[in-house]
Structure 1
Amino acid sequence: MSGMNGFSLADICCLLCCPPIPSRIAAKLAFVPPEPSYTIVTKEDGTQELVLTERAEWQFNDRELSFIDCFTTRSSRGNKVACMMVRPVKNPLFTILFSHGNAVDLGQMSSFYVGLGTRLNCNIFSYDYSGYGASSGRPSERNIYADIEAAWNALRTRFGVSTDKIVLYGQSIGTVPTIDLASRYEVRAVILHSPLASGLRVACPDTKKTWCFDVFPSIEKIAHVQAPTLIIHGTEDEVIDFSAGLQLYERCPKPVDPLWVEGAGHNDIELYAVYLDRLKSFLEKDLANK
């Protein structure tokens, strides 16, 4: 989500004028695809294989690399969507459908997914947004909604994971498709990590109304999410104001105790011990009682 903070009123007016086109606003405010850190190679037998570059900064060995299955699928908007299934444990508690943050791709997230899945006793399924990594097309609001639906369909059909075993996890810009999907489908639970309430509220945190030209209106969609929801936000978030997490928590139909990480910013919550502790208690205890 880097690059969305610090807009002046003049900047906002410039973004929204002549006439306002939400997809262009979204592209200007949110999407920064990195240089790809991986490729997906199709072998002679038709199977697909992950090839990481140095940019991925892989932290494990070939054994852990064997936990990862990569492939591509198609979205309803015709884009190729790169998907990654990470299976580090034999009897996973859940499968987490993870929508990552901005300025990273699946290759850069692969080591994190292996470590997180191992510690939480869960499989991690993730995907790249249109225009990121090995996914085709261009990033846009409409495309990321289609991207997560393509990933959801692949998870359900290719791996046969039932909805009561799927936990949606969105981080930063990834909370946008996560909330959208959770508002339309039944899932076991939802985790929102440094979420944004809407595009305009990122630029102007004091905004109280959702205007017709606003993008990423998660604040309006959260009311339709019927799964237990854990919200995590740093109190010193310099990109998405802490107030966004509070607003979503207040409107969430089935919130659990949130995790407000005192002193944490936008990109360092994972470094606090309470982060992993709260995730484990949510998956192992909160959901067992729901």
Structure 2
Amino acid sequence: MTVQLPPRTIFLQIVRRFFLILCGTYFLLLALGAVPFVQRQLVYAHNFKFPFFCQYGLPERYDLAPFKTHNVRIHTSDNETLGAWFTLADPFYVSHKADLFTPTSSSSEELIRSALRAHPTILFLHGMGATRAYRTRVQHYQTFASRLQANVLAPDYRGFGDSTGTPSEAGLTLDARAAWDWLRERGALPENILIVGNSLGTGVAAEWGGETRREQPRGVVLLAAFSNIETLLDTFYVLKIVPLLVPLRPFPYISGFLKRFLIHRFDSLAKVVELRVPLLLVHAEDDWDIPYSHSQTLFDAFLEQHLPPLPEMTAAIMGASDEVAEHVAKLSQERAVLRRELVTASEIERVGRMEAFSKDRPDRKVVFIQTRWGGHDTVGLIEGVQDYIAEMFNMSYVA
């Protein structure tokens, strides 16, 4: 005889099974993330080569002016070959159209050398996924070439686009070095090269820039930066929908265990303070990929050596005597007062707020602009941000 369960019991069983399947799938995906191949896809998304079936030799297909952008090849020290686009500064392009419309390989090379002598150059290090032909990246080249009157070199890292190899943290650092060397070999002066990184590219810029000692660029701009991959995982959503480690916040020991398997760390927080050039951090409040608190953390890292250290807030300290609690509160107050003295804070009308710090480093100013809008991939396209880049790094631009 079959016993028919009450509808409520059947419903609860379905719900229970659903959550068991959901939890099982979630932990399976986390386990897969520890597999090097899968982790590489998650960090770089380099096999998502959008736009698909790209014609790299025809930049005009992607809204760039005829012969303004040159498809070039860059060779790295470990024998990889990178595809890259070199976009001429608008004034140079306009004044050399006659030569550009009758190009030869030798004349193109000479024109690139002439452009590097005549205008500053931006080395643009893009974010994860897609290629150098991705629309928002092309918009950056266009606006840098016109509004900042700068040449732009935009390489695809190894494994991205039509570049050879497989991406890794060390490999992308070598790629940035190779792109820098390509510019230097063609006559660009270090002080005429501005490094601009976006998202993943900020980790590359910090990693490589922190290791550079002999040749210093004009400066570094980090758009939508992260402090390190490990911290980013705590707030990251896959495809902006699926939380990665957010459900594990109540269980820090589990997330800590999983992070032990992290291979690609990009610890910008450790590297960025080693930069010896002016630094601009820009981050939007409506960035749903990387919270703007990451850029704030990077900015604050430069202040730490000038502030009294706070004890690590362990459970023992938090549960200590009132005397200890008073001491910690006093230190926090001292830090807040000193911070106000060290940092110049101001509003950029209709753009956002700005903090600047330059104590003991007048030629190595650090600035953080927190914009009210701009998103993740497009914060660098805000004209108010471009204006400040022009001012801070003495770039010429069309008003």
Q: TM-score range by the shorter chain?
A: 0.7 to 0.9
TM-score, normalised via structure 1 length: 0.77
Tell me what 1:235 maps to: 285
Tell me what 1:125 maps to: 153
Among residues 164, 174, 184, which one is paired with 2:211 in the alignment? 184
Matched, 1:199 2:229: yes
Matched, 1:79 2:105: no
Q: Return the alpha-carbon distance in structure 1 between the equivalents of residues 30 and 219 of structure 2.
A: 38
Among residues 23, 27, 31, which one is paired with 1:14 in the alignment? 31
Q: Return the alpha-carbon distance in structure 2 between the equivalents of residues 199 and 11 of structure 1.
A: 21
Tell me what 1:67 maps to: 68
Number of aligned residue pairs:
258
Query: What SS does the aligned partner of 2:176 have?
Result: helix
Query: What SS does the aligned partner of 2:196 have?
Result: strand
Letter of the aligned partner of 1:277 in structure 2?
A: D
Query: What whole-Å deviation, never above 9, does each CA across 1:260-290 have from its counterpart, x for those lacking one?
Result: 01144213424544222222222228xxxxx
TM-score, normalised via structure 2 length: 0.57
Among residues 112, 119, 123, which one is paired with 1:97 in the alignment? 123
Tell me what 1:153 maps to: 181
Tell me what 1:279 maps to: 389
Query: What SS does the aligned partner of 1:27 have?
Result: helix
Query: What SS does the aligned partner of 1:65 have?
Result: coil
- Percent sequence identity over matched residues? 20
1:232 and 1:258 in contact (8 A); partners too: yes
Query: What whole-Å deviation, never above 9, does each CA across 1:47-79 have from its counterpart, x for those lacking one?
Result: xxx22485x3x1x4xxx3322222112222322
Shift of 1:133: 1.7
2:122 and 2:153 in contact (8 A); partners too: yes
Matched, 1:34 2:41: no
1:80 and 1:130 in contact (8 A); partners too: yes
Query: What SS does the aligned partner of 2:392 have?
Result: helix
Shift of 1:128: 0.4
Tell me what 2:58 maps to: 51
Shift of 1:184: 1.8
2:140 and 2:381 in contact (8 A); partners too: no
Q: Return the alpha-carbon distance in structure 1 between the equivalents of residues 261 and 166 of structure 2.
A: 23
Shift of 1:195: 0.7
Query: What SS does the aligned partner of 1:107 have?
Result: coil
Query: What whole-Å deviation, never above 9, does each CA across 1:83-141 have from its counterpart, x for those lacking one?
Result: 22211233755211110122332223345313321100211111001122221122222
Shift of 1:163: 0.8
1:97 and 1:125 in contact (8 A); partners too: yes
Matched, 1:218 2:268: yes
Aligned in 2, Cα 1:265/1:11: closer, same or farther, shift over 3 Å? farther
CA RMSD of aligned residues (A): 3.0
Q: Return the alpha-carbon distance in structure 1 between the equivalents of residues 201 and 280 of structure 2.
A: 15
1:38 and 1:52 in contact (8 A); partners too: no
Shift of 1:188: 1.5
Q: Return the alpha-carbon distance in structure 2 between the equivalents of residues 133 and 37 of structure 1.
A: 10
- Of 247-256 and 189-198, deviating more is 247-256
Matched, 1:106 2:132: yes
Tell me what 1:245 maps to: 295
- Structure 2: state its 5+ residue gaps: 1-24, 93-114, 236-248, 303-360
Shift of 1:12: 8.8
Letter of the aligned partner of 1:283 in structure 2?
A: F
- Structure 1: state its 5+ residue gaps: 1-7, 41-49, 286-290
1:259 and 1:278 in contact (8 A); partners too: no
Aligned in 2, Cα 1:73/1:263: closer, same or farther, shift over 3 Å? closer
Q: Return the alpha-carbon distance in structure 1 between the equivalents of residues 275 and 260 of structure 2.
A: 21
Tell me what 2:347 maps to: none
